[in-house]
Amino acid sequence: MEKKPNFVRREFLPREVPSVSLALLLAAVLLLNALLYLYLNKFSSSLGRVETDSGLCPFGHFKFGAVKNCSPWLSCEAINREVRKLKCVGEGAVKKVFLSEWKEKKVVLSQLTNSELKEDFLHGLKMLKALQSKHVVRLLGYCEQQFTILTEYHPLGSLRGLNETLHIPKYKGMNTWHRRLMLAIDYVSVIRYLHSSPLGTLVMCDSNDLDKVLSQYLLTSDFHVLVNDLDALPLVNRSAGRLVKCGHRELQGEFVAPEQRWPYGEDVPFEDDLMPPYDEKTDIWKIPDVSNFFLGHVEGSDIVRLHLFDIHAACKKKDPAERPSAQEVLDTYRKVLTLLIREAAMPGAREML
């Protein structure tokens, strides 16, 4: 009798192996999608916490550090009795800033230096009180009679020192396109908050050049952005026909929006009374330049810029009415971050498989 070949048994063996491989591949892809979903869900939740901070105290109160209970803002008497100046750490046109100590905690004491600018100082205090949120430096106390404001201390200082901070060994791990884009998102979140604040539409007027903009914001130890200086924050009220002008001097340069520049040419001397007012879209014009600073020149930052090209081009429209709102810019930034996180995760998954 002719013996049957063994190829029948061997014929099915190769089919079984791909079936197992396919099952493992499918399981790995499902696992990856689950992990990615959880990561993006956690990321979305963290964005939501930026908008509404459940840890904020009622108006007129504060807490910070590990303290759980809220305390009332410190009064003139408490500031004079309990706050000790350590050293001067900065001085601007309006106020001098001192690193100080309160109950063994580092704090910041700001005092008016030019009596002619006391209205600006008091306006900044009014804004600081009214706008307390996750976007604004925490107010600890004030004394109007002595033109003194007490705020939380952030050791990393203003955003002007961001690149230097990211080169410190301790923070080099933060020097990524992802973290830098998160900082840009924080910055646009502040602008969005000011444009839809409880007081109405506010314009960030202390922003005539990049260095000035960066000096208005603080970098927190957990790498978030807070607005710190609110002295020049006028209100736009379109229904009442109220627009703004950032100061009474001529503004020049490509950093400021076109509508902020003298429109009548070099042959006509600048006159403040003839300068047309404008609205909050001046802040939108500046977003691409500030974000470009945030993104820096790390690996992946050029890819981020490419994805933001269209929204940044829209921000630079000459006609303010054609520029997007801060909310639209913020939505785009968040979508780009989510997209790039997903794209960055997939190559790693393929390698794992």
What H or E segment, with its residue span, contains residue 201?
Answer: strand 201-202
Q: What is the H or E stretch that residue 349 is in? A: helix 326-352
Q: Can you list the alpha helix ranges (DSSP code H) found in 152-279?
A: 162-166, 177-195, 210-215
Cross-strand partners of 237 = 242
Say whether pLDDT at 46 is over 70. no
Nearest to 131, CA basis, from 151, 110, 109: 151
Global pTM?
Answer: 0.84
Q: Which of 91, 195, 90 is nearest to 135 (CA)?
A: 195
Domains assigned to the chain: 71-153 (3.30.200.20), 154-345 (1.10.510.10)
Sequence-separated (6 or more) residues with CB below 8 Å from residue 275: 245, 250, 262
Other beta carbons within 10 angstroms of residue 48's beta carbon come to 9
The predicted pLDDT at position 66 comes to 74
Q: Model confidence over 201-241: pLDDT tens digits?
A: 999 999 999 999 999 999 999 999 999 999 999 999 988 88
**CA atoms of 211 and 293, how far apart (whole Å):** 10
Name the token pair of 11. Answer: 């014929």
Position with higher pLDDT, 325 vs 30: 325
Helix (H) or strand (E) segment spanning residue 301: helix 301-315
Of 141 and 17, the structure prediction assigns the larger pLDDT to: 141
